[in-house]
Amino acid sequence: MLLNDSEPRLAGRVALVTGAAHGIGLAISRRLALEGAAVVLNDVDRTGLAEAVAHIREFGGQAASAAGDVRRPGETDEMAAVCEREFGELHILVNNAGLLRPAPMHEMTDEQWDAVVDVVLRGAFNTIRSAAPLLMHQDPDPAFNRKVVTISSVAGVHGVPGSVNYSAAKAGVIGLSKALAREWASLHINVNVVAPGRIVGTMIHASRDEHQRPHALADRPQVPMPIGRLGHPDDVASLVAYLVSPDSDYMTGQVLELHGGMEVIPRR
Ligand SMILES: NC(=O)c1ccc[n+]([C@@H]2O[C@H](COP(=O)([O-])OP(=O)(O)OC[C@H]3O[C@@H](n4cnc5c(N)ncnc54)[C@H](O)[C@@H]3O)[C@@H](O)[C@H]2O)c1
């Protein structure tokens, strides 16, 4: 598929997406590129990252690679530097990198707690702080909003039993985003959160080894979704594309749940 000739909604925008080699992050990167943005993809998985960048370039999208670990501030600084080197600026940041380490509360280890909180919460903090000088750059057009979107989860809004680390970290990024939305509102930087429910083809179907067990939600009996199907990474990408576009310039500090009507997480 090639980009068509009409002016795409995100033409001229530069985006950084973390955890972009697979799943939701890849779908977001692909969608932003299709809408005309130049996309810098980040991931710790260098092989997957190279494939993701090649995939976007194949359909005519602009993409660059910024391998690195969001837990390390020096590496998030380098991701921002890649944006500036490759495309000269940065308008959109999507904090998507995440992982699961489920365990019952009384059995959860320090390692499991730290692994999730460090990537999800510390990682979002590191990446936003590194991107801040570029995002805060005063554009001559004050109506030209910049955008930060963080991928939380229904776990961060409602809590998921068996994943207190994940639920706490995903709630943490909501608090961070709500505070930052107010801190940066006068700079015309919108800060919002997407909280997906079950999304197929992603970490919820990951391998079942001890450290990559599927999402606690996936362990539960399948309940019919009110909307009749599970979510797809492209569903998340569509919402993110709206939140980083000029169409959402008046929206900030919001948490948008995306769960096909799944109001309550079923108990085990
Ligand atoms: N899949 C779901 O059902 C679901 C539901 C709600 C929220 N989410 C959230 O969506 C986001 C994407 O999840 P997914 O399901 O696509 O998972 P995924 O495992 O397919 O993708 C996550 C990506 O993050 C990368 N990553 C992990 N640690 C990293 C680090 N330290 N630095 C940089 N990259 C790192 C991984 O290599 C991977 O490519 C996560 O934040 C997840 O918590 C997923």
pLDDT at 1: 45
Residues 49 and 181: their CA atoms lie apart, in Å, by 30
Note the pTM of the prediction, 2 decimals: 0.93
Residues 257 and 195: their CA atoms lie apart, in Å, by 5
CB-based contact 171:157 (threshold 8 Å): yes
In this structure, the residues whose C-beta lies within 6 A of any atom of ligand 1 are 18-19, 21-25, 42-45, 48, 69-71, 96-99, 119, 123, 151, 153, 196, 198-199, 202-204, 215
pLDDT at 129: 98
Residues 102 and 108: their CA atoms lie apart, in Å, by 8
If we measure between CA atoms, which residue out of 137, 26, 55 comes closest to residue 88?
A: 137
Residues 265 and 196: their CA atoms lie apart, in Å, by 12
Per-residue pLDDT of the chain (268 residues; tens, 9 = 90+): 455 557 899 999 999 999 999 999 999 999 999 999 999 999 999 999 999 999 999 999 999 999 999 999 999 999 999 999 999 999 999 999 999 999 999 999 999 999 999 999 999 999 999 999 999 986 656 668 999 999 999 999 999 999 999 999 999 999 999 999 999 999 999 999 999 999 997 764 443 333 344 444 444 545 578 899 989 999 999 999 999 999 999 999 999 999 999 876 555 5
144 Rama sector, left if φ>0, alpha if ψ -120 to 50, beta otherwise: beta
pLDDT at 143: 62
What is the 57 CA–ligand 1 centroid distance (Å)? Answer: 22
Residue 166 falls in the annotated catalytic set:
yes
Q: What is the 3-state secondary structure (H, E, C) of 14-61?
A: EEEECCCCCHHHHHHHHHHHHCCCEEEECCCCHHHHHHHHHHHHHCCC
| Token code pair at residue 193 | 């959160």
DSSP at 59? T
Which listed residue (33, 166, 191, 218) is catalytic?
166
- What residue has token string 């993409």? 63
pLDDT at 47: 98
